[in-house]
């Protein structure tokens, strides 16, 4: 006799999304030598998600070192946040994607089964 | 004389207007919207599945792209449980993604041109508009081994990658 | 088949109405409101076809003001696999009255399943201010009052009424004066005078009538029965109660009854006389 398996069922029915722009960011010199910076804009339209992780990857989506004010940002519903990304000048050739990914708190059971990630690409 | 000057000054001040510009740009933008949360059906003791025939609900995610040919949708179906009771055996995962609904007839070719590898499906978003993708996911426990009771959850990863 | 719902802002009413058919008539879809504008058309259907074949689907509404279409959306499925399409098309606020019969038309090989078309609209309930007194610009209707002439306002009518009033007041005064004077010689003389005048009038009238009658008789216009004397039988009383004096003898003279009779007789005479006395 096995206990019943709880099946998660939540029909969202409403539009929940986040956007990550610009699509093709460009790095420029910063006030620090050999460090480049770029600005990204995160807009959260998801009511069920408030934390987003920023990632900088190569073309195979392997993580690369970068600096920003935080790795995980708290962006409330309908809030826009400008995020400044700093990388080393020598990493510019490797950097291909700058991504934002929705994250859930451990103690919060995900309301749905979809994690969204949007990646901008350096040209 | 002074009164006339004052009247003129007041009149000229009342018709003074400032042009306030409004700027904007249309740039490539991709929005991923989880539309329908999936539900695992339990057609047999050793299987969890989102297929409708197995009593499940297919998760649906919508991609909105502003400019054509700027992004590709990369959808990865679950390969592990994000939440589950302790499992002492292997779980065999299978999954796929397909176009469910489109806002442009031309988008129905995404299914024809999609690329599948491992548990990942890539769709080239060549047309601006909205596209709905539904995912199938199934997990089988061991060899005809029943799943232990408890809560099970798994995540679909929906990526929108700039081309 | 149809579904509709509305929402209200301060002045404008917004609403949506849904159709789930391949052919429909707009009179049963959009509300019959003056000034109604269609803001958006949303539709959804599933195209079922062979990917290799050609198929074009038209979602359209005929234009009631012309021979073309007020709304038409084309989906070309040629060379593509069938799928479910969802489209939302904002419009430039055409009037709802211009939306004629709607249809989802398929050209080529294939068919359409589960169609749904949703029209979003808006209208101003006070588009015609006369609809309700709460509307701005409402002008209460003033009925046309016809010119009514009061006959009493006419001068000649009023003059006649005044004359009659004066005549009546004179007659009333006259009667009052006559009521004060009782049994006067003037009164007697007046009666005699009236009597004589009446006799004179009667005589003159009778003479006129007699002359007229003679003329008519000469013309034989009257039938003979008109002048003949009709014999009237006399019905004599046959029932007689013989009296041998017993009935009279049985009567006893009562002085009391005699007094009562005389009193009644006297009162009667007094009453009759009082009518002629003024």
Q: Which tens digits make up the pLDDT trace of C195-204?
A: 666 665 555 6
Q: Is the pLDDT of residue A3 over 70?
A: no
**Mean pLDDT: which of A45-54, C45-54, C172-181 is highest?**
C45-54
Q: Which residues of A touch B161 (CB under 8 A)?
A: 97, 119, 121
How close, in Å, is residue B122 to chain A by CA atoms? Answer: 14
Which segment of A65-69, C38-42, C106-110, C124-128 scores lowest on mean pLDDT?
A: C124-128
> How many domains does the structure of chain B reveal?
1
Residue A79 lies in a domain: yes
> What does pLDDT average to over chain B?
87
Residue B119 counted as domain residue: yes
Note whether C touches A: 3 CB pairs or more under 8 A: no
Domains and CATH numbers, chain C: 2-131 (2.60.120)
CA-to-CA distance for A19 and B31, rounded, in angstroms? 5
Q: Does C90 touch chain B (CB under 8 A)?
A: no
Please tell me which residue, C10 or B120, carries the higher pLDDT value: B120
CB proximity under 8 Å: B 95-154 to A: 146-154
Least confident of A33-37, B44-48, C28-32: C28-32
**At A6, is the pLDDT very low, low, confident or very high (cuts 50, 70, 90)?**
very low
Give per-residue pLDDT as tens, B79-109.
Answer: 999 888 998 889 999 999 999 999 999 999 9
Mean pLDDT is lowest, of A4-18, B62-76, B147-161, C110-124, for A4-18
Q: Residue A56 maps to which CATH number?
A: 2.60.40.10
Contact C87 B112 (CB under 8 A): no
What is the model's pLDDT at position C66? 86
Q: Distance, in angstroms, between C47 CA and closest chain B CA?
A: 9
Of A31-45, C11-25, C117-131, C143-157, give the lowest mean pLDDT range.
Answer: C143-157
- C85 vs B105: CB contact, 8 Å cut-off? yes
Q: What is the pTM of this model?
A: 0.65
- Report pLDDT for A111: 46
Question: What pLDDT, on a 0 to 100 scale, did the predictor assign at position C7?
Answer: 65
Can you give the residue range of the structural domain that contains B146? 46-162
Report whether pLDDT(A82) > 90: yes
Residue A5 lies inside a defined structural domain of this protein: no
Q: How large is the average pLDDT for residues C245-254?
A: 63
Q: Is residue B25 part of a domain?
A: no
pLDDT per residue as tens digits for the range C11-30: 889 999 999 999 999 988 99
Of the pLDDT bands very low, low, confident and very high (cuts 50, 70, 90), residue C215 is confident
Q: How many domains does chain A have?
A: 1
- Residue A7 within a domain: no
* CA atoms of C82 and C78, how far apart (whole Å): 9
CA–CA distance from A118 to each of A22, A52, A54, B161, C251 (Å)?
Answer: 11, 11, 10, 6, 146
The answer to whether A19 contacts B31, with C-beta atoms less than 8 Å apart, is yes
A8: pLDDT strictly greater than 60: no
User: Does residue C184 carry a pLDDT above 70?
Assistant: no
Residue B72 has pLDDT above 90, yes or no: yes
C223 or A90, which is more confident? A90
Residue pair C69/C104 in contact (Cβ under 8 Å)? The answer is no
Structural domain boundaries enclosing A80: 18-121
> What is the mean predicted confidence (pLDDT) over B26-35?
81
* Residue C66 CB contacts under 8 Å (≥ 6 apart), including other chains: none
- Long-range pairs for C227-235 at CB < 8 Å and ≥24 separation? none
Model confidence at A58: pLDDT above 80: yes
Cα–Cα distance list, B101 to B33, C83, C86 (Å)? 14, 6, 7
State the CB neighbour count (10 A cutoff) for residue C44. 18
Residue B148 lies in a domain: yes
Phi then psi dihedrals of residue C130, to 5 deg = -75, -5
Residue B26: pLDDT band by 50, 70, 90 thresholds?
low
Contacts of B45 in chain A (CB under 8 A): 2
Question: How far, in Å, are B111, C83, C139 from residue B126 at the CA level?
Answer: 12, 17, 59
Is residue B103 assigned to a domain? yes
CB contact under 8 A, A18 and B32: yes
pLDDT band at A14 (very low <50, low <70, confident <90, very high): very low
C76 contact residues in B (CB cutoff 8 A): 105-106
- Answer yes or no: is B54 within a domain: yes
């Amino acid at each position: 006799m096995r206990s019943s398996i709880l099946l998660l069922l939540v029909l969202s029915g409403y539009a929940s999304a986040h956007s990550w722009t610009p699509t093709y960011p460009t790095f420029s010199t910063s006030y620090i030598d050999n460090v480049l910076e770029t600005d990204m804009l995160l807009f959260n339209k998801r009511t069920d998600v408030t934390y987003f992780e920023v990632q900088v990857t190569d073309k195979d989506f392997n993580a690369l070192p970068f600096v920003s004010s935080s790795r995980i940002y708290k962006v409330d519903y309908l809030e826009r946040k400008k995020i400044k990304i700093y990388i080393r000048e020598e990493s510019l050739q490797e950097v291909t994607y700058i991504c934002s990914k929705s994250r859930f708190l451990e103690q919060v059971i995900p309301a749905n089964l979809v994690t969204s990630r949007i990646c901008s690409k350096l040209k | 004389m002074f009164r006339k000057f004052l009247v003129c000054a007041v009149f000229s001040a009342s018709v003074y207007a400032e042009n306030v510009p409004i700027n904007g740009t249309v740039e490539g933008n991709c929005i991923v919207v989880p539309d329908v949360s999936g539900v695992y059906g339990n057609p047999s003791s050793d299987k969890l599945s989102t297929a409708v025939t197995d009593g499940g609900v297919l998760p649906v995610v919508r991609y909105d792209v502003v400019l054509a040919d700027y992004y590709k949708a990369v959808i990865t179906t679950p390969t592990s449980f994000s939440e589950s009771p302790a499992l002492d055996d292997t779980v065999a995962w299978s999954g796929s993604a397909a176009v469910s609904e489109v806002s442009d007839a031309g988008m129905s070719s995404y299914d024809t041109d999609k690329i599948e590898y491992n548990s990942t499906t890539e769709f080239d978003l060549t047309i601006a508009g909205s596209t709905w993708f539904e995912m199938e996911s199934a997990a089988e426990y061991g060899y005809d081994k029943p799943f232990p009771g408890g809560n099970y959850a798994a995540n679909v990863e929906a990526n929108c990658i700039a081309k | 088949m149809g579904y509709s719902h509305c929402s209200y802002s301060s002045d404008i009413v917004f609403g949506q109405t849904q159709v789930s058919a391949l052919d429909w008539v707009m009179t049963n879809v959009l509300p019959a409101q003056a000034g109604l504008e269609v803001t958006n058309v949303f539709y959804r259907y599933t195209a079922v076809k062979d990917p290799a074949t050609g198929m074009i689907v038209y979602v359209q509404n005929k234009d009631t003001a012309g021979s073309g279409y007020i709304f038409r959306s084309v989906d070309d499925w040629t060379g593509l696999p069938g799928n479910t399409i969802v489209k939302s098309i904002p419009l430039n606020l055409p009037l709802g009255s211009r939306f004629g019969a709607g249809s989802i038309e398929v050209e080529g090989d294939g068919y359409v399943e589960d169609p749904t078309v949703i029209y979003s609209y808006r209208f101003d309930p006070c588009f015609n201010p006369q609809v309700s007194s709460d509307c701005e610009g409402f002008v209460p209707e003033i009925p046309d009052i016809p010119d009514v002439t009061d006959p009493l306002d006419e001068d000649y009518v009023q003059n006649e009424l005044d004359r009659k009033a004066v005549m009546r007041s004179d007659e009333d005064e006259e009667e009052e004066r006559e009521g004060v004077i009782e049994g006067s010689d003037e009164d007697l003389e007046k009666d005699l005078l009236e009597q004589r005048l009446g006799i004179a009038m009667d005589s003159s009238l009778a003479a006129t009538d007699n002359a007229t009658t003679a003329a008519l008789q000469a013309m034989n216009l009257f039938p003979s029965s008109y002048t003949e004397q009709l014999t009237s039988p006399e019905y004599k009383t046959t029932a007689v109660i013989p009296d041998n004096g017993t009935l009279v003898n049985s009567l006893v003279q009562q002085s009391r009854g005699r007094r009562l009779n005389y009193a009644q007789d006297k009162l009667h005479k007094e009453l009759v006389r009082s009518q002629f006395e003024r």
